[in-house]
Amino acid sequence: MASPKKIIVVLLGLTAAGLTKMPFEQKFTEELREQRLAPPTLSLEAWTQMSQNGLAGAFGGLRSVLAFFKSLEAHLHFEDQEWYELKNDFKVVTSLDPYNAFYWDQGSHHLAYNAASWARSQRDQPEIKRISIEKEYLEAGDTFLRNGLRYLPEDADLWAAIGRIWSHPLKRPDIPRAVEAWKKAAALSNNHVYERNYFLSLAKIPGREKEALDVALELVEVYPRNLTIPTFRCVLWSLYQNPQLPLDLKKPTMVQLFGSKKRAYRDLHSYWYRINDDGFYAGNVGADLHQLVIDLNVPFEFNPFLSPRQRRIPRSWWQD
């Protein structure tokens, strides 16, 4: 049987060896985390939110499984409209599985859409309070996505989610912030939708019409099918009418861009309302429509200056 002195010596030796190895092991673990081969450390806030079984699971390497079940718990808070608890749940979920973009997107959606819409609907509260709470949840959704981008900086979809928050027409749009997000989403992917959304958002900012036109022409060169999209054509047409453009700039005719005067009228008829509703650049679209009404002998019911705006132009009229 070993003497107490020998046992103490062995324990001291093991301790010294462990202390010697610790810096190297810590460095190696950090390198694995940088390469996303090892999960990051849990935040103190996440520790305090987890049960004893959850902590045991985290130590046991079941973090992604725990994240899944915690997300189910968050859904229950969503059904009960318990937004504070939901937000805390998703902080834990993303701490457990930070490289899963789905959880960052889902948590942000609950905050910026569900919670913000709930705040707007609280008619028993003073308007100033409803607006304040709604903006708070919109910002929380934005912040949540940006926290996700710290772990997934190359994820274009997370940037696109930020773009959707600030360009949503039924919320409280912040177009410059939307432009920033759509631009980064487009740069990180080959997604033509993200590229178009960047252009369409940029075209809504007064003073940046020339920049928007340059972007549009580049997008057409890279992906000519952009010209098949009515909104894209209309915005491009209006930007060509910017009086600040060089006089020698080569511009397409209406028929070249739209295919025919009837198609131009169909597209510009809808765009006329979007100028006010969505903040697009107007150019000379109003004058164009007035002239087309004369040239095409447009019926009363299809004239936006005379008839109710909800009347749509049927395909049988505009299709050549």
Report the C-alpha gap between 222 and 236 in whole angstroms: 15
What pLDDT does 10 receive?
A: 45
189-232, pLDDT tens digit by residue? 989 999 999 999 999 999 999 999 999 999 999 999 999 999 99
Report the C-alpha gap between 94 and 157 in whole angstroms: 17
Q: Scanning the structure block, which residue is given the tokens 């981008």?
A: 149
How would residue 128 be classed by pLDDT, with cut points 50, 70 and 90?
very high
Q: How far is CA 208 from CA 162, 197, 200, in A?
A: 21, 15, 11
Report the C-alpha gap between 166 and 153 in whole angstroms: 19
Between 67-71, 155-159, 201-205, the lowest mean confidence (pLDDT) is in 67-71
The answer for residues whose C-beta is within 8 angstroms of residue 50's C-beta and 6 or more apart is: 58, 66, 92
The pLDDT > 70 percentage for the chain reads 80
3-class secondary-structure state, position 207: coil
How would residue 311 be classed by pLDDT, with cut points 50, 70 and 90?
low
Q: What is the 3-state secondary structure (H, E, C) of 256-287?
A: HHHCCHHHHHHHHHHHHHHHHHHCCCCCCHHH
What pLDDT does 267 receive?
A: 95
Report the C-alpha gap between 52 and 129 in whole angstroms: 38
Is-contact 92 50, C-beta < 8 A?
yes
8-state DSSP, 311: P
- Among residues 57, 80, 61, the alpha carbon closest in space to that of 70 is found at 57
The pLDDT > 90 percentage for the chain reads 69
Q: Is the pLDDT of residue 59 over 60?
A: no
Report the C-alpha gap between 244 and 257 in whole angstroms: 21
What pLDDT does 312 receive?
A: 75
Is-contact 120 134, C-beta < 8 A?
yes
| Burial class of residue 245 (count of CB atoms within 10 Å of its CB; 0-12, 13-18, 19+) | middle
Is-contact 85 107, C-beta < 8 A?
no
Q: Is the pLDDT of residue 1 over 90?
A: no
Q: Scanning the structure block, which residue is given the tokens 């910002």?
A: 139
| Burial class of residue 7 (count of CB atoms within 10 Å of its CB; 0-12, 13-18, 19+) | exposed
Structure tokens at 143: 């912040």
